[in-house]
A and B are shown apart, each in its own frame.
Chain A
Amino acid sequence: RKEVEQDPGPFNVPEGATVAFNCTYSNSASQSFFWYRQDCRKEPKLLMSVYSSGNEDGRFTAQLNRASQYISLLIRDSKLSDSATYLCVPKGSARQLTFGSGTQLTVLP
């Protein structure tokens, strides 16, 4: 089993839609969780950190289910500018970040 698994998509949704991505992880010792967004041919940029059961920042909500070892990202009222690849990063005691392969989102006008 991969350390981090994400549905690669692509998810194509209309503007204003709500979309959710799931990410499963294998390391039960993971303590911190991050969602990064990466625009085409650009660097990953931190979108959200999750240290407890979840986090909310405007239109973005992350929820953590430790028992089932998955974390989700919900985007409400999608904007064209939300089009990107979303990378899930669970972090345990290791110093490096272990990235999933990402979920590609395209928001259509």
Chain B
Amino acid sequence: DTEVTQTPKHLVMGMTNKKSLKCEQHMGHRAMYWYKQKAKKPPELMFVYSYEKLSINESVPSRFSPECPNSSLLNLHLHALQPEDSALYLCASSQGAGGGASETQYFGPGTRLLVL
């Protein structure tokens, strides 16, 4: 079962709010990813966790804070966002990441975020 779940599906928040996006997979994958996708654009990589450790941070502003509590869960904490942060946030997972592995990334349905 190649399923990645994300909650919430939709989120509206003000610029002073603190919220969190959640991602979960039960495929035994050891790598998890956050992507940001603006309308009519391809996904852009934000963070990569490999074996529960942050391995890649694509120069993302500190108002986005990722967390990997365990190998099945990935959170993205949001604080003091700007309207331009409004986008579809996609989570993905793969069996591994890096080290020559050729891993397929499986994506969740995404969270549509609107920052007012």
Q: Do A and B come from one complex?
A: no
